[in-house]
Amino acid sequence: MSTPNILLTRIDNRLIHGQVGVTWANSLGANLVVVANDEAANDPVQQSLMDMVMSDGVQTRYFTLQKTIDVIHKAAERQKIFIVCKTPQDVLTLVKGNVPIKFVNVGNMHFSEGKTQVHKTISVDKSDIDTFRELEKRGIPCEVRRVPDEAGENIANLLK
């Protein structure tokens, strides 16, 4: 079985929006964006809104977490994949399902009740912190970076 060519995995609670659809996909040279999210996978309206902001020539797939785990290893070599998840817990689910994620870009995690803001665009609770620590233990660096030309910062530095 060949290893899927995953360029980057991003956590963004908005999933695909203009910034991600265009800036990240272009800078990575991705030709396939996989949105791994159970709700989006079952929401055609949300999918068509996300498709509208994608660059030409970049395909999108909306898979549940389980389907992503089931099909990622069937990806063709020419598919340069950019995975977008909503939460660190979803990323960890994929990792535990043997999706070969090597690096995580942390984009947006909105503030909500019970969360603490640790960066302009990142708010976390205990479960998020535990999940980031688990990803790090598994040798997967998680870097806060909103746009490609911004300097990244390891999330571990923000969680101390």
Answer yes or no: 110 catalytic. Answer: no
Distances (CA, A) of 95 to 9, 17, 18, 120: 11, 24, 27, 27
- Tokens for 59, please give them: 């395909």
Classify domain 6-157 at the CATH superfamily level.
Phosphotransferase system, sorbose subfamily IIB component (3.40.35.10)
Residue 32 has pLDDT above 90, yes or no: yes
Residue 1 has pLDDT above 80, yes or no: no
pLDDT of residue 49: 92
| Per-residue model confidence as pLDDT tens digits over 14-28 | 999 876 668 899 999
Name the phi and psi angles at 40, rounded to 5.
Answer: -60, -35
Average pLDDT over residues 116-144: 96
* CA separation for the pair 105, 111 (Å, rounded): 18
155 near 142, Cβ under 8 Å?
yes
Domain boundaries, the chain: 6-157
pTM, whole model, 2 decimals? 0.95
DSSP string, 37-95: -HHHHT-HHHHHHHHHTSPTT-EEEEE-HHHHHHHGGG--TT--EEEEESSHHHHHHHH
Pairing of strands 59-63, 32-36: parallel
Among 42-46, 54-58, 101-105, 124-128, where is mean pLDDT lowest?
Answer: 54-58
Q: Write down the residue that tokens 């870097």 correspond to.
A: 143
Q: Is 35 helix (H, G, I), strand (E, B) or coil?
A: strand
| Per-residue model confidence as pLDDT tens digits over 106-127 | 999 999 999 999 999 999 999 9
**Exactly one of 17, 73, 110, 119 is catalytic; which is it?**
17
